[in-house]
């Protein structure tokens, strides 16, 4: 499995993967403050560490190993002749970072194939796992124990009074790699990016917030299309670009995942009429909770999750799910990520 192999190469032989079996991870869905993510929540420090801490013992394990293990320190650092102090070996950290961007591309392609719906490429490539500047909320979060990328669309805004909401669930294997990536590899990638491009604040913010950073900042639709063409050309009899894949995937989805179609286009209901208000009010005001992003009625989540599950099972991969369903607090969710071995399915 190529994605997992790239991930293990980036781990530099260190056995420091975080045990995500049956653990609870806090994720405050109502926290829109700049820079917040589950990886920065103090309640998760025992899992992910705190690389902003002055205490090196709290740093993520791979970053700590690079700085403390003699063999890794010798590989990535050099002694400055002028200051007689250790500095980063820029060609070597650049090579590691190039491989990291390859992993980022593979995870992007994997989610396009296996996430359960054909999200616009501009939205997918710009997805974030931390809240961005200007109040932009993150896309990746935990909902009802599942690791999701969430997206909003405005097709139904005029009728319902709010943007539409689509949570897409990571499959088990790719979701596991993504969690390990953001918890262990991304802190190293950010440190290396700062060393190589200290005067590029836009790039550094992308490295701090984006799910799928690239060497140029973010991938675009052309990059995604070329990546899909290369992958399908290497593994299938035919080469698909992004447009071809959308045609095929939507046709398949209509057959195996019809459960969500009525949800997205639901008319006024008898129940809403009995309450003497429109269905738009029913959706916007009643039956909502802090366990769902954007004030969406919580009852829609199982339908979205079922649609993703059906798609992933149709693709012959292990669906993303969780044994931990209950929330850890009224504004938090928790997750248990199935273990992914090197033989797990991932693009």
The pLDDT of residue 35 is above 60: yes
Pick the closest to residue 311 from 112, 109, 104 (CA basis): 112
pTM for the predicted model, two decimal places:
0.80
201, burial (CB in 10 Å: exposed 0-12, middle 13-18, buried 19+): exposed
Q: Provide the pLDDT confidence category of residue 315 given band limits of 50, 70 and 90.
A: confident
Q: Provide the pLDDT confidence category of residue 192 given band limits of 50, 70 and 90.
A: very high
- Cα 167 to Cα 128, 162, 233, 338: the distances in Å are 14, 15, 30, 19
Q: Provide the pLDDT confidence category of residue 331 given band limits of 50, 70 and 90.
A: very low
Q: Give me the sheet containing 140-143, strands edge to edge.
A: 140-143, 146-153, 164-169
User: Residue 305 and residue 109: Cα distance in Å, rounded?
Assistant: 20
User: Residue 79 and residue 88: Cα distance in Å, rounded?
Assistant: 9
Mean confidence (pLDDT) of the chain: 78
Share of the chain above pLDDT 70, in %: 73
Write the DSSP string, 167-230. Answer: EEEPPHHHHHHHHHIIIIIHHHHHHHHHHH-TT-HHHHHHHHHBSSEETTEE--HHHHHHHHHH
Per mean pLDDT, which of 121-130, 233-242, 318-327 is the most reliable? 121-130
Pick the closest to residue 346 from 1, 61, 89 (CA basis): 1
Per-residue model confidence (pLDDT) at position 197: 97
The answer to whether 170 and 346 are in contact (CB under 8 A) is no
Per-residue model confidence (pLDDT) at position 48: 92
Q: Is the dihedral of CA 209, 164, 259, 113 positive or negative?
A: negative
Write the DSSP string, 283-327. Answer: HHHSSB-TTSGGG-BTTHHHHHHHHHHHHHHHTTSPPP--S--S-
The answer to whether 288 and 296 are in contact (CB under 8 A) is yes
User: Residue 106 and residue 100: Cα distance in Å, rounded?
Assistant: 10
User: Residue 164 and residue 154: Cα distance in Å, rounded?
Assistant: 6
- Cα 158 to Cα 164, 239, 266, 325, 340: the distances in Å are 10, 40, 14, 33, 43
Q: What is the pLDDT of residues 84-112, one digit of tens each?
A: 678 999 999 999 999 999 999 999 999 99
Tokens 């993504």: give the residue. Answer: 178
Other C-beta atoms lying within 10 Å of the C-beta of residue 268 = 13
């Amino acid at each position: 499995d190529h994605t997992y192999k790239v991930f293990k190469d980036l781990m530099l032989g260190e056995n420091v993967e975080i045990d995500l079996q049956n653990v609870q991870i806090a994720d405050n869905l109502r926290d829109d403050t700049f820079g917040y993510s589950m990886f920065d929540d103090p309640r998760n420090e025992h899992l992910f560490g705190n690389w902003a801490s002055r205490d090196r013992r709290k740093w993520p394990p791979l970053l700590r190993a690079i700085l403390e293990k003699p063999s890794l320190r010798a590989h990535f650092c050099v002694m400055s002749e002028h200051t007689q102090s250790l500095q980063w070996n820029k060609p070597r950290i650049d090579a590691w970072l190039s491989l990291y961007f390859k992993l980022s591309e593979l995870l992007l392609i994997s989610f396009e194939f296996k996430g359960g719906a054909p999200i616009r490429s501009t939205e997918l490539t710009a997805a974030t796992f931390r809240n961005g500047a200007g109040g932009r909320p993150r896309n990746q979060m935990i909902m009802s124990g599942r690791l999701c990328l969430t997206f909003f669309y405005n097709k139904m805004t005029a009728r319902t009074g709010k943007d539409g909401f689509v949570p897409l669930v990571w499959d088990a294997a790719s979701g596991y790699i993504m969690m390990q990536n953001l918890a262990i590899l991304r802190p190293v990638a950010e440190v290396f990016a700062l060393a190589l491009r200290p005067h590029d604040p836009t790039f550094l913010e992308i490295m701090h917030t984006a799910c799928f950073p690239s060497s140029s900042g973010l991938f675009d639709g052309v990059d995604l299309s070329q990546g899909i063409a290369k992958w399908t050309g290497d593994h299938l009899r035919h080469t698909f670009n992004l447009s071809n894949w959308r045609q095929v995937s939507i046709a398949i989805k209509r057959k195996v995942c019809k459960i969500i179609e009525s949800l997205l286009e639901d008319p006024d209901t008898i129940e809403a009429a009995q309450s003497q208000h429109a269905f738009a009010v029913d959706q916007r005001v009643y039956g909502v909770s802090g366990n769902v992003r954007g004030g969406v009625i919580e009852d829609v989540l199982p339908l979205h999750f079922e649609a993703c599950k059906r798609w992933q099972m149709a693709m012959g991969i292990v669906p993303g799910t969780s044994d931990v369903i209950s929330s850890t607090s009224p504004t938090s969710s928790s997750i248990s990520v199935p273990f992914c071995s090197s033989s797990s399915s991932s693009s």
